[in-house]
């Protein structure tokens, strides 16, 4: 007997509406026929703003957090591209996978990277880069619960091994996916009684695989590389029945982003990039033991929902400065990578990397506990907040001034304000204003200005520090932690 559909409230996206409205056009066709209101953002505009925006999914292969650090096959490669082209990388997690091409078209992201198959049905929605890899589509099904002494032939007899054996089954797939398109096309040619259930876009392929493993749904379809990796997490799964030939996997950009597409393809074609792709593929798809340990760790955003072992202490002390605890965590990650034994060449120590003089000022030394190190760092942040409170009234702007001051000292930041004012910029706004003044703190011309009192500093370091902390914070905000 077919399972009761109590799972459908979680997975099905408007099945009844689609069934009743037979004249409704497929969603992809509606998208393709919309007016051409594309956001005209290509590589020159991306370079001007200094940031590449990645649209991706939260999965063990595309993007996730492990011990506070971004991980994933797609993420690592896109990050490498951004770094080589002097761009910051902002990650935006797709809340509804069915909306990915709409978000790309509307300029909410510059690049989709999440194991996308290149298919002709998607040509109207985006342009695809040269392939990074290839894979097949496979059926994901659950093995019988009692496997003791069962022969390979008996197992094959129990599992689906032919197209015809799908008769009478339900398969859960996403509407946006190439799996849905492939199955729909094949079913249109054959009179096989298979019901395609459109899974909600806020449930990704790996979550569907998990539901099959748990016995909550019968079948789903996945790319073979993703399915084989997930089989190491759930050995009760069978993923050996292929539903397609090899298909290229690539990234997608807007239809009008010709310069970005050309630059990406040039980068992908480079020998060192191909070596990087091969190494990164092995890291995430073939070194399954290491990947399994990361994904199932309590410090993985996919399993444990924790950034670090110090989360409770960070949450406790962040209230003292009225900061989101994830912002304080992002700062600590940038300071020490959550390593309490970290020491810098200049003598900074501990999770908060306090210099000895500053540490003594706030009542600690190298013998104090990790909690006390965080407490002292927070007390220093509170001091800096009080310093800037009457100077920078916008709380969000003030955070950036505090971060820069924590890294290089408030005196140098005040000098950067003076330089910014001399350049006709706003001395109370960080990005593109005081931040630019800080970059000039290594130029003797500007050190001679009236009001610049604190001498030379390598302004690029605190300039980068603020950007990195805020980027890390954005990453933490996107995850359900």
Tens digits of residue pLDDT in 33-46: 444 444 589 999 99
Active site annotation includes 45: no
Report the Cα 192 to chain-centroid distance in Å: 39
- Catalytic-labelled residue, pool 206, 335, 341, 371: 335
- Give the Cα separation of 432 and 466 in Å (integer): 13
pLDDT over threshold 60, residue 15: no
The band of 28, judged by pLDDT with boundaries at 50, 70 and 90, is: very low
**What CA–CA distance (Å, rounded) separates 170 from 199?**
11
**Is residue 310 a contact partner of residue 338, using CB atoms and an 8 Å limit?**
yes
Q: Report pLDDT digits (tens) over 72-93.
A: 999 999 999 999 999 999 999 9
pLDDT > 60? residue 8: no
Query: What number is the average pLDDT over the span 388-413?
Result: 97
Gap between the Cα atoms of 342 and 460, Å rounded: 22
Mean of the per-residue pLDDT values of the chain: 89
Check residue 171 and give its pLDDT: 95
Euclidean distance between the first and the last CA atom of the chain, given in angstroms as a whole number: 39
Give pLDDT, residue 39.
Answer: 52
Cα Rg for the chain, rounded, in angstroms? 26
Identify the structural domains of the chain with CATH numbers, from first to last.
36-133+253-295 (3.40.190.10), 137-244 (3.40.190.10), 311-478 (1.10.530.10)
Tens digit of pLDDT for each residue in 151-192? 666 666 789 999 999 999 999 998 878 888 889 888 888 878
Q: What is the pLDDT of residue 270?
A: 98
d(CA 104, CA 112): 7
Return d(Cα 280, Cα 270) in angstroms, integer: 15
Residue 327 has pLDDT above 60, yes or no: yes
pTM (global) more than 0.85: no
The Cα 447–Cα 161 span in angstroms is 75
Structure tokens at 479: 């995850």
Q: Which of 18-22, 232-236, 263-267, 291-295 has the lowest mean pLDDT?
A: 18-22
Tell me the C-alpha distance between 193 and 167, whole Å. Answer: 5
Q: How far apart are CA 113 and CA 249, in angstroms?
A: 9
The pLDDT, as a whole number, for residue 99 is: 92
């Amino acid at each position: 007997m077919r399972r009761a559909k109590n799972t459908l409230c979680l997975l099905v996206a408007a099945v009844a509406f689609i069934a009743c409205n037979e004249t409704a056009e497929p969603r992809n066709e509606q998208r393709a026929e919309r007016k051409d209101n594309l956001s005209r953002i290509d590589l020159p505009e991306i370079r001007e703003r200094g940031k590449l925006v990645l649209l991706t999914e939260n999965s063990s292969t595309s993007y996730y957090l492990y011990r506070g650090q971004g991980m994933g096959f797609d993420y690592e490669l896109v990050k490498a591209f951004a770094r080589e082209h002097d761009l910051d990388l902002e990650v935006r997690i797709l809340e509804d996978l069915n909306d990915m091409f709409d978000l790309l078209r509307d300029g909410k992201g510059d690049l989709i990277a999440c194991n996308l198959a290149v298919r002709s049905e998607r040509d109207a929605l985006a342009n695809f880069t040269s392939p990074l890899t290839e894979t097949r589509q496979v059926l994901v099904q659950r093995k019988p619960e009692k496997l003791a002494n069962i022969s390979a032939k008996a197992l094959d007899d129990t599992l689906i091994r032919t197209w015809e054996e799908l008769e009478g089954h339900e398969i859960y797939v996403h509407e946006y996916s190439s799996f849905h398109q492939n199955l729909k096309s094949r079913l249109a040619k054959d009179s096989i009684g298979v019901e395609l259930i459109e899974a909600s876009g806020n449930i990704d392929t790996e979550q569907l695989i998990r539901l099959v493993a748990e016995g909550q749904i019968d079948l789903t379809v996945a790319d073979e590389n993703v399915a084989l990796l997930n089989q190491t997490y759930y050995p009760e799964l069978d993923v050996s029945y292929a539903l397609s030939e090899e298909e290229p996997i690539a990234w997608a950009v807007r239809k009008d982003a010709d310069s970005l597409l050309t630059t990406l393809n040039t980068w992908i074609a480079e020998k060192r990039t191909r070596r990087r792709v091969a190494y990164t593929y092995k890291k995430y798809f073939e070194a399954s033991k290491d990947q399994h340990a990361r994904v199932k760790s309590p410090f993985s955003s996919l399993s444990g929902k924790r950034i670090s072992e110090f989360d409770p202490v960070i949450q406790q002390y962040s209230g003292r400065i009225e900061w989101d605890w994830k912002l304080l965590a992002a700062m600590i990650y940038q300071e020490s990578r959550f390593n309490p034994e970290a020491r810098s060449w200049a003598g900074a120590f501990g999770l908060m990397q306090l210099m000895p003089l500053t540490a003594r000022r706030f009542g600690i030394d190298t013998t104090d506990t990790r909690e006390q190190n965080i407490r002292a760092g927070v007390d220093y942040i509170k001091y800096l907040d009080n310093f800037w409170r009457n100077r920078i009234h916008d709380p969000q702007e003030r955070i950036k001034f505090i971060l820069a001051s924590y890294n290089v000292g408030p005196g140098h930041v005040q000098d950067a304000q003076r330089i910014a004012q001399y350049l006709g910029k706003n001395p109370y706004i960080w990005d593109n204003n005081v931040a630019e003044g800080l970059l000039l703190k290594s130029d003797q011309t500007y050190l001679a200005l009236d009001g610049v009192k604190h001498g030379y500093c390598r302004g690029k370091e605190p300039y980068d520090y603020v950007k990195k902390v805020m980027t890390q914070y954005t990453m933490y905000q996107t995850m359900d932690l």
